[in-house]
A and B are shown apart, each in its own frame.
Chain A
């Protein structure tokens, strides 16, 4: 998975 994917989390 890509680096930017987790950024919707807080």
Chain B
């Protein structure tokens, strides 16, 4: 564990809490892509199957359980409890466009051809692109609530901080996993346009509105 890993994990946790609180406090999930949330739930479930097979640390187990449970809770709030507020007309990105290529790529490029390893690799690839339905929804409506912007910023920072963690681990632990690194890089790049708008607009007290 290094400082980048820890802050990355905390950014991830913060993002999840921001989203749940936003939905709960406003009793609304408008502006939130239910599809991205379903994809994240699939990511956590397929990645954290190792909860049943190996124990790493109390921290590791606790965080994995929090991610799985909170993502399930988010999906429940969007599709059941506050479903009347869900922007289904704008949330039109096709999930299979992300899921199917991720499955194919995981079957082709992975460390070992075992069920657990392919599912883990699939989760890494799917996570890299799982935010696309959310970014698509924001681009369709042309704006995002400030709280949604904070959520996206925290969620985007997390994999960026992991990139620094991987550089650290390469130098100090001689650890290198190209699958995580390349996917994490792609994931972070997808947020760049949003990061720019966040810094130039939201941090200056304005709402996130896309340029026409």
Contact = CB atoms under 8 A, between A and B. Distances in A.
Interface residue SS majority, chain B: helix
B172 to A, nearest CB: 14
Contacts of A10: 9, 12, 60, 63-64, 67
A8 B162 CA distance: 13
Contact of A6 (B64, B112, B174, B177): B177
Chain B interface residue number, banded = 20 to 34
Contact of B120 (A2, A7, A8): A7
A9 B88 CA distance: 34
Interface of B: 5, 9, 12, 50, 54, 56-57, 60, 63-64, 67, 111-112, 117, 120, 162, 165, 174-177, 179-180
Interface of A: 1-3, 5-10
Given A10-B63, A10-B64, 13 more contacts: A1-B177, A2-B111, A5-B175, A6-B175, A6-B177, A6-B180, A7-B54, A7-B120, A9-B5, A9-B165, A9-B180, A10-B9, A10-B12
